[in-house]
Amino acid sequence: MSRPLAITMGDPAGIGPEIVAKAFRESPALTQGCFVVGDVACMRRGAAGKLPVAVIDQVADVHQVPPNCIPVLQAGPSLPPPAVGQLSAAAGRMAADAVLWAVRAALRGEVAGLVTAPLNKEALHAAGLPYPGHTELLQAEAAAHAGVAIDRMPVRMMLANDELRTVLVSIHLSLREAIEAVTLERVLQTLRITDAALGASLGRRPRIAVAGLNPHAGEGGMFGREEIEVIAPAVAAAQADGIAAQGPFAPDTVFMRARRGEFDAVVAMYHDQGLIPVKYLGVEKGVNVTLGLPLVRTSPDHGTAFDIAGTGRADAGSLVEAIRVARELAA
């Protein structure tokens, strides 16, 4: 019997429970054998009576749940659902409990992978968790499970759709800190992680373009020397390892080249440089994949959307894509 995918409900004050319920309702074949980790009452509120919620006590129970039900495993204490659309420590704690339960189950090999609905970083902080987002929390848990320091478990964020893949050298840092994080070691490490992860899924060495940091990739040093002193040497070192990397290229055109099929992925130097092009193509198609973890983890490429939570207007498209990609990677 195949291991199921765990889907975390996200911040219960946001659209997480609602889009998870919509995914089960709109894509029953895809979600068959999946279960939700979160809070039963919050998931019932998110389902809005359109699908029944079946409470399970352990992973194996998911195979006993009849079709057209949402299997939910209670993570953490059962508390009254927090107010919709309002940031709170209680909601952050519920979201964190779900992620912690799911990642630990994945590390134990009990589930095939996890798909994480959006959480709110401020709510996570209010709940006392010292992480800027999902990626860093998962990295810390994986490192602890392996018994290594967190810097020995390097991870990277990849955002992908059917037209473009981008991998980030740094994730949730201020722009000033992100520029300082563009080092030869980090760029080379990103290229190695990207090569290994995409090579496994593509069945061949991926063609990787590397974006410059500065306008026109520095224009030969006129607009900055990071390309000359840091990025180009990292690309050369990757090529010496057999990695099919090229660059650095002007960041205002390299994403178009990748979208046309010249490259399989673009390594971007910081968060917004890499994510804006993918999100511009449509958040309903984008999937966030964490590379470098000893488990499968995907998520939609949007946030908690407090402004529309509880209105029934949230689109589950990106979450459905995240489930589909997680199934492919787990297989």
β-bridge partners, 289: 158, 298
**% of the chain at pLDDT higher than 70:** 99
pLDDT tens digits for 258-312?
A: 999 999 999 999 999 999 999 898 767 789 999 999 999 999 988 999 999 999 9
Q: Is the model's pTM score more than 0.85?
A: yes
Q: Residue 157 is inside which H or E element, if any?
A: strand 156-160
Amino acid at 60: A
Q: Residue 292 is inside which H or E element, if any?
A: none
Write down all domains in the chain, each with its CATH number in brackets.
5-153+284-330 (3.40.718.10), 162-276 (3.40.718.10)
15: three-class secondary structure by DSSP: coil
Judge whether residue 206 has pLDDT over 80. yes
99: three-class secondary structure by DSSP: helix
Contact 302, 283 (CB under 8 A): yes
